[in-house]
Amino acid sequence: MKQNLLTNIRIVLVEPTGALNVGSIARIMKNMGLTKLVLVNPRCDLASDEARQMAVHAVDVLETAQIADSIPTALAGCQQAIATTVRSRSVPILLESPATVLPGLLVPNLQSALLFGAEDRGLSNDELKHAQRFICIESNPDYPSLNLAQAVTICVYQLYQGWLEISQDHQTPTASLPAIAAIPNNATIEVLEGYYQDLEAMLLEIGYLYPHTVAVKMEKFRRLYNKANLQPEEVAMLRGILRQIRWANQNQTKLSQN
């Protein structure tokens, strides 16, 4: 029996404020065959009457939703995260369409997530750094901001159409697949985050980075590594290099003091 690839995809809502929105999202997720809902520091009650009424027959999606205290926690075990955004950023990022990016999540054994920001602000630069690719839903430039539930609906519908194409035609989606999706053994996001923390600490230690520029420079490093589709053993090798640099730097410091 063909694997239901939709079950590998989680919908992550960052600080949602509206119970009505969350209930509507649970309903459309079940309509389109998705079941994994994760909320990061929600500012509404999933068990409220409003949420349950909007969920209708998808109350089970609400009841099994996971609550996370941070985006890294919400993405634990994922190998790819796609973020939705409409705003320009200080560091340029490539904004792609859902039709181009989302079919690439329908790959066996690839654990992935779709990130959506809070209704009143979207995703911040700091929150976007956890994603590898970014999608923008094209809309009227005079009023481009979509309701949260509407944005999720468009994305999960696109995913379901991709899944129908696979299950009915026994083919991969026709949209261009991202290279990262072709390698389901990629390092998980939390493994990469550990490396980024080590890299940042080392580059500050040796004077390559300065506190006032660290955020922008590290965002560039993240984009560089995202293109490489690193596997776990490759991340381990890079962390080994950092350990050796630290050892050499510490020993050089000791020699200079003597």
**How does pLDDT run across 202-236, given as a tens digit for each residue?**
999 888 999 988 988 998 898 888 888 888 899 99
Residues of the chain with CATH 1.10.8.590: 187-257
Domain 187-257 has CATH 3.60.9.10: no
The gap between the terminal CA atoms of the chain, to the nearest Å, is 69
Say what the pLDDT of residue 81 is.
Answer: 94
Say what the pLDDT of residue 201 is.
Answer: 92
Tell me the C-alpha distance between 232 and 247, whole Å. Answer: 23
5-179, which class in CATH? alpha beta
What does pLDDT average to over the chain? Answer: 87
Residues of the chain with CATH 3.40.1280.10: 5-179
Give 180's DSSP letter: G
- Mean pLDDT value across residues 170-194: 64
Q: In what order do the strands lie in the sheet with 95-96?
A: 66-68, 36-40, 9-14, 112-116, 80-84, 133-135, 95-96
- Mean pLDDT value across residues 181-193: 75
Q: How confident is the model at residue 254 (pLDDT cuts 50, 70, 90)?
A: low
Matching residue, tokens 């580059």: 203
Closest CA to 61 of 46, 44, 45: 46
